[in-house]
Amino acid sequence: MFNLFNRFAYLYGNEENPKVDSTKDYYKVFKQIKQELMFHVGSRYLVGASVGATNRTFTPWFALYNTKITRSARHGLYVVFLMKKDMSGFYLTLNQGITYFEERYKPNQYLFAKKVSLYFQEQIESSNFDKADIDLAVDKSDIGYGYQFTNIISKFYPFDHKNQTDIYEDLNEILSIYDLLVERMNGNEYSDIIDIIIDNQDNNDFSNSYIDKEIIEELKKDQKDENLDIIDLKMVEVPHSTRKTTSIERTKLSKIKYLEKAEKDMKLGYLGELAVFEFEKQRLTDLGLETRIDEIKWVAKEFDGYGYDLISLDIINDKIVTIYIEVKTTISNENTDFFISHNEVLASDEYGERYFIYRIHNIQNNHADIYRINGTIRDKFDLKPITFRAKLK
């Protein structure tokens, strides 16, 4: 098999015609490799392969599909041999269809594809395959660029020295890993699994860099603040915790259109901050500080990395002090959990009793309740770690 790949790479790399030509020698070897794979796996897997449609691709591939989950390289998990553009070698990989991410999650397709790949990597233990990124030597304009983000595990076979491993043994092992992952999906649709993985991401990680800047800029451009209906807020008491455990069966989880959900969440967050901005003007007036309303600053409108959304004033221990407000908005009830970023935790540690969480909830017909809590987040809330960033000590 290694010699067939080597022969194919030599012929393919030296072919000058950019069009696919089934009469060429490289195409004959291409068909032979596909036939060898079909003979090896029999009816257990569907075998697909491509050198391109009309124009030759820079990264020819040979894929094996578990038909319980996919029959196409465009969608789902599959095992695939990927040729490097420079024809210096090839990868055997457990991979995913990048087209699915491009169609569903653009412009964040690479970010989300990588996140899903990392999730699947966590389910795999193998000393034979690498979890590092693959390098197909392609630029961003080529579809092969996306394969580098959808890759889960891989092994590289260079042509510049004699191959020392049995490709069929490696193929059997990676197919076993592949089938095990499919079994662990327990009948769930691949698209549902992806939605679950992506939706588990801390919203703050995305909002600070990928999603909300574009959404909020469009919101500010298309609808000036003065033209927006401002949510009318009613101050209520801080609720008591009503913790309860809920069991969720993964097979019953509905599909989540994540980008639509994220856009809705970001717009809701923006409207919540706008409501608090107006709310603070009235609150300062009630405190007799109407001459200092200009000191209210909506800092998150320009930059969202401070760990708070607004700066305002309050009277604490009979002194007028500057306070720092983080706004958390939901249409649900007062006991709905919310995400807290690392920056927000650190800001609350720094400002202590001058740091406030304003929780907007129960939004109905442009009216909502609000409570506020001051002090460090670590003292006032139960924090559950969702993601960690690791660096070698």
Share of the chain above pLDDT 90, in %: 46
Alpha-carbon span 81 to 92, nearest angstrom: 5
E-assigned strands of the chain?
46-52, 56-65, 77-83, 89-96, 153-158, 232-235, 310-316, 319-329, 355-364, 367-374
- Assess whether pLDDT exceeds 90 at residue 5: yes
> In this structure, which amino acid lies at residue 98?
I
Alpha-carbon span 9 to 59, nearest angstrom: 10
Higher pLDDT, 219 or 333: 333
Tens of pLDDT, residues 131-140 = 888 999 988 8
Tens of pLDDT, residues 275-322 = 999 999 999 999 999 999 999 999 988 877 789 999 999 999 999 999
Higher pLDDT, 214 or 233: 233
Read off the pLDDT band of 249 (50, 70, 90). Answer: very low
- Assess whether pLDDT exceeds 90 at residue 22: yes
Which of the residue ranges 69-83, 118-132, 244-258, 373-387 would you say has the lowest mean pLDDT? Answer: 244-258
Higher pLDDT, 198 or 158: 158
249 CB contacts (<8 Å, ≥6 apart)?
Answer: none
N-term to C-term CA, the chain: 43
User: Quick check: helix, strand or coil at residue 320?
Assistant: strand
